[in-house]
Chains A and B, each alone.
Chain A
Amino acid sequence: MTAMIDISRAEKTFTMHLQGGIELPVVSGVTFQVEPGECVVLSGPSGAGKSSILKMIFGNYRCDGGRIGIRHQGALVDLASAEPRQILSVRRATIGYVSQFLRAVPRVATIDVVAEPLISNGMARPEAQERAGQLLRRLNIPERLWALPPSTFSGGEQQRVNIARGFISDLPILLLDEPTASLDAANRAVVVELIDQKKRADVAMVAIVHDDEIRHLIADRIVDVTSFASAA
């Protein structure tokens, strides 16, 4: 098999103990694959479980059943049953995640927030910062802001910093959770360009995008999540 992501019959239920232990089924029977260089967009109404699926692929949400196969360093790892250490290794070398919200350490300079994934994978700091700078410039973050921590930035700026951080590495899988949500047209176009570049680099991507226009621009295939909705 050549797929980078191979999910079969994955399911997820939340048990809300603080609300009397009610069970909240989110998804079940999630089955799809993503090939290298392919961008799969998850579609469906709010609450259908798109974000949950993305988080399951990242190992952020635990999987209650089924399999989440990830091609990691030439072998298939099932994230549904992997050890924490394995998941960390997959995140370091294989899967990147671009969320809507920046979760950065306070006080760290923007340029370092962006460069960090490269540095932690062994790149020298100056080189990593150089690449981070290129990406920030492309995403129209003015250079005078680079030394400041992004926590003081506007929502849109923070998101662009987050996108830069997500796109900087050369990971073979990228998960995009509404990467263009609060961006203006110019910056949206930059993101589309970045995604195109990743495709040409054979990166497998799974994305959630609400904007129809963007969806058409980036999607190679659309997976409708409503079919995985658990019968509540």
Chain B
Amino acid sequence: MADNNAAVQDNDQPLLMAEGLGKTYGRLSACRDVSFALYPGEVLAIVGESGSGKSTLLQLLSAQLAPSAGKVSYRMRDGVMRDLAALGEAERRFLFRTDWGYVHQDPVLGLRMAVSAGANVGERLMAVGWNHYGRIRDTATSWLERVEIDIERIDDAPRTYSGGMRQRLQIARNLVTEPRLVFMDEPTGGLDVSVQARLLDLMRNLVSELGLAAIVVTHDLAVARLLSHRVMVMKGGRVIETGLTDQVLDDPREPYTQLLVSSILPA
């Protein structure tokens, strides 16, 4: 019972917090005044069209870009909330290899295309000091199975894979170290509709099974609906509407959100 309470309390603490986050390039403001808290196990979708600032925001949140204003804090595995800008480069990169995942829209950016699938998945393990080939291979195999890649293909390089397989491999590569937070940048962009559906289903299951928190950038409201608990609508670098995903999509308030929602093609 005490343990249970502790767990509940733990989940009441945000995993990641953005406060007054902004990024300007000279006079151009790519993203302004973004504040929110993300809790463990929560999936947040950032939606908006090209140029709305959602990709900039994702880069700020994942510490790949230094903010011009505000800050991002993250609860490290020891429970301490740390300002990402104050982390050393080694710490930040370590976070990226262990506690975070980053799924690129283009799997070529997230994979080593000339290295076998098994080694692509195993790399993160080797990076945190795994030094037993058999165990690395077993773990890679079980992850390939989890993302529905035929294990016969474990020694093939991803350049021989289809787009959907590459994306699933990228997900396995990211999740193998059991991160607590995954950033996804248009994870289904550029895939056929049927391939998208399979990928979305897979991601949804993995996220809920592993209790992952995720921040998903997408221009596809259907993706937001399937994957996310909460949604943030961006326009012109600002968050114009935020709330529960089904609330925002079924009962949009802002003119722009209403326009976005009304622009969805009927399935």
A binds B: yes
Q: Which residue numbers of A lie inside 8 Å of B, CB to CB?
A: 14-18, 21, 55, 59-62, 84-85, 87-88, 105-108, 120
Cβ-neighbour of B253 out of A62, A105, A106, A107 (below 8 A): A62
- A15-B253, A55-B250, A88-B229 given; 18 more Cβ-contact pairs under 8 Å: A17-B254, A17-B258, A17-B259, A18-B259, A59-B244, A60-B250, A60-B251, A62-B251, A62-B253, A84-B244, A84-B247, A85-B39, A85-B42, A105-B204, A107-B197, A107-B198, A107-B201, A120-B208
Closest-CB distance, A49 to chain B (whole angstroms): 13
Interface contact B200-A105, CB-CB below 8 Å: yes
Q: B259 to chain A: which residues have CB within 8 Å? A: 17-18
Q: Which residue of B lies closest to A52 (CB)?
A: B251
Distance in angstroms between the alpha carbons of A17 and B253 in the assembled complex: 8
Q: B226 to chain A: which residues have CB within 8 Å? A: 105
Task: Tell me if B262 counts as interface (CB < 8 A to partner A).
Answer: yes
Task: Tell me if B266 counts as interface (CB < 8 A to partner A).
Answer: no
Closest-CB distance, A111 to chain B (whole angstroms): 14
Give chain B interface residues in 230-245, CB to chain A under 8 Å: 230, 243-244
For this complex, 16 residue pairs linking A to B, each with C-beta atoms less than 8 Å apart, are A17-B258, A18-B259, A55-B251, A60-B244, A60-B251, A61-B247, A62-B243, A62-B253, A84-B243, A84-B244, A85-B42, A88-B229, A105-B197, A105-B200, A105-B204, A106-B201
Interface contact B255-A17, CB-CB below 8 Å: yes
Q: Which residue numbers of B lie inside 8 Å of A, CB to CB?
A: 39, 42, 197-198, 200-201, 204, 208, 226, 229-230, 243-244, 246-247, 250-251, 253-255, 258-259, 262
Q: Which residue of A lies closest to B44 (CB)?
A: A84
A62/B247 contact (C-beta < 8 A), A15-B253, A18-B255, A18-B258 known:
yes
Closest-CB distance, A143 to chain B (whole angstroms): 22
Q: A17 to chain B: which residues have CB within 8 Å? A: 254-255, 258-259
Most buried by B among A84, A87, A105: A84
Q: B251 to chain A: which residues have CB within 8 Å? A: 14, 55, 60-62
Distance in angstroms between the alpha carbons of A62 and B226 in the assembled complex: 20
Interface contact B258-A16, CB-CB below 8 Å: yes
Q: Which residue of B lies closest to A103 (CB)?
A: B225
| Top 8 closest pairs, chain A to chain B, by CB | A17-B255, A106-B197, A84-B244, A61-B251, A107-B201, A17-B258, A84-B230, A105-B201
Q: B197 to chain A: which residues have CB within 8 Å? A: 105-107
Q: Which residue of A lies closest to B250 (CB)?
A: A60
Q: A108 to chain B: which residues have CB within 8 Å? A: 201
Q: Which residue of A lies closest to B261 (CB)?
A: A18
Q: B262 to chain A: which residues have CB within 8 Å? A: 18
